[in-house]
Structure formats: C-alpha cells, structure tokens
Amino acid sequence: MFRPACIALIRSLAADPSLLKRAPAATMAMLQTQGREGAQGTGNKVTEQEGSFADVATAHGFSFLAKDAPAPSSGLHYLYQMKGSQQPGDFGLQEYADGKVIDTLVVDLKHTLSKSFYLNDGWFHDDVVYVISHNTGTAKYPVFKTHIAVGQDIPTEEEQTFMKEMIAFKVDKNSETKKVGSLRPYVRFANQYSCERFTSEVAAACLERVITSFSE
C-alpha cells in the first residue's frame, strides 16, 4: 500500500510540474499551525510548493499528522517539517500498522526561479528524495520542470569528493576552535547547486532509480 502510493505520487509530480503551484490557502494554513486551529504557527512561512505537495500527498491517500500527535493505529500519513525547519526533509511520508511506523520516505523540496538553488545545510543527504522545481525559461517567462532524485544520485563523483573534504574541514574547525578572543567562530555552508545538469536524460535516469528503489 505505501510503496505503490509513493510511486504514484512521485510519477505525478514528475509528469506535471504545475501540481506544485496549486496550493490551497487552507492547506497552507494547516501546515503553518501544525493542524492546531487558531495557533499562530512557528518557524518559516509555508511555501506554495510545500502546500501543493501536501495537497498532492492527500490526493494519493496520505493524511496529515501533526508532529506531536499520538501515533495512529494504521494507515498512510504525512508529517510536515518532521525534524524541524532547518533539518533535511520537509515532509515525511509514513505507513503505520499496530501504532508503529513500518515504512518511511523523507522528501525535501527545492524551488528556484533562477538556474540554481541553495542547499540550506550545505549538501545533499543520502536516501532523502529531493523534489526540485527549477526554471528552464526566464524570470519573465518561466517554464518549470521537476527533477526528482535521491540525494546520493544528484552530484557527480568529482563533486562528492570535493564536498567530502569540505565537510571534514568544517567538522574539524567547528570541533577544535571554540573561541578566539571574544570571537566564537562557526563554519557554515551557503552552497548553491546549478540546475544545468538536470537534462531530460539525467532526470529520466534519476527518476527511474527512485522508482526502482521502491520495487526492491
């Protein structure tokens, strides 16, 4: 039940990029407050892409579940910002049975009007499915496509090698240097990634690997 639903959801997003630009106001308000009616909401403002994804997930059989809600006895559910606003994974799709999680898919959404997007925490995460809405047209006349891939399939081997060294440097510096005079230094990435690599051929191959992983 879970894996076929995930496959159908992913295929629909890849086939129709406009699905991520149809966010109902009610859905966005629900996500902002984690389903608590009348609550002010915390963290970053819900984006149109996030609201749209939630609506598509609902259409494929997933029900909203607040982060602090009791575990349901069974069924398909989705959680918004399950690990916090600055952590990888905007959504967690989960299947429950007997009150326990038996399958999970972590989805991270990216959207850009330009030719590149920011990686908030520096780099791609393995086994996280990235749904990247990118503009192949111009700012005035945008033409959106959706690139869907697991984190480890997006960068090249050269990029992986370079970032492995950079991440090691960051970890080393942040662990060894606590204070320099009155300064408390902290190394943090603000990396961008170009969408130029996301050709039709690359997109098709990455999508197929995502789909295949659900069939194994």
Structure tokens at 54: 């939630």
Question: pTM of the prediction?
Answer: 0.91
Domain ranges of the chain: 2-213
pLDDT at 122: 87
Place of tokens 């399939």: 153
Q: What is the pLDDT of residues 36-75, one digit of tens each?
A: 765 555 567 899 999 999 999 999 999 999 988 899 999 9
Cβ-defined contacts of 193-197 (< 8 Å, 24+): 193/116, 193/117, 193/119, 193/154, 193/155, 194/115, 194/116, 195/112, 195/115, 195/116, 195/117, 195/132, 195/134, 195/135, 195/136, 195/147, 196/115, 197/156
Q: Can you tell me the distance from the alpha carbon of 13 to that of 206, in angstroms, rounded to the nearest whole number?
A: 14
Q: Can you tell me the distance from the alpha carbon of 126 to that of 111, in angstroms, rounded to the nearest whole number?
A: 19
Model confidence at 155, in pLDDT bands (50, 70, 90)? Answer: very high
> Which amino acid type is present at position 155?
P
pLDDT at 68: 82
The sign of the CA dihedral 35, 41, 42, 46 is: positive
Q: Can you tell me the distance from the alpha carbon of 129 to that of 185, in angstroms, rounded to the nearest whole number?
A: 32
- Percent of the chain beyond pLDDT 70? 94
Lowest mean pLDDT among 26-35, 69-78, 88-97: 26-35
- Whether the Cβ atoms of residue 193 and residue 117 lie closer than 8 Å to each other: yes
Lowest mean pLDDT among 6-10, 45-49, 149-153, 161-165: 45-49
- Structure-model confidence comparison of residues 131 and 138, the more confident one: 131
pLDDT at 216: 65
What does the mean pLDDT of the chain come to? Answer: 90
Mention every residue, 6+ apart, whose C-beta is less than 8 A from residue 127: 106, 150, 151, 152
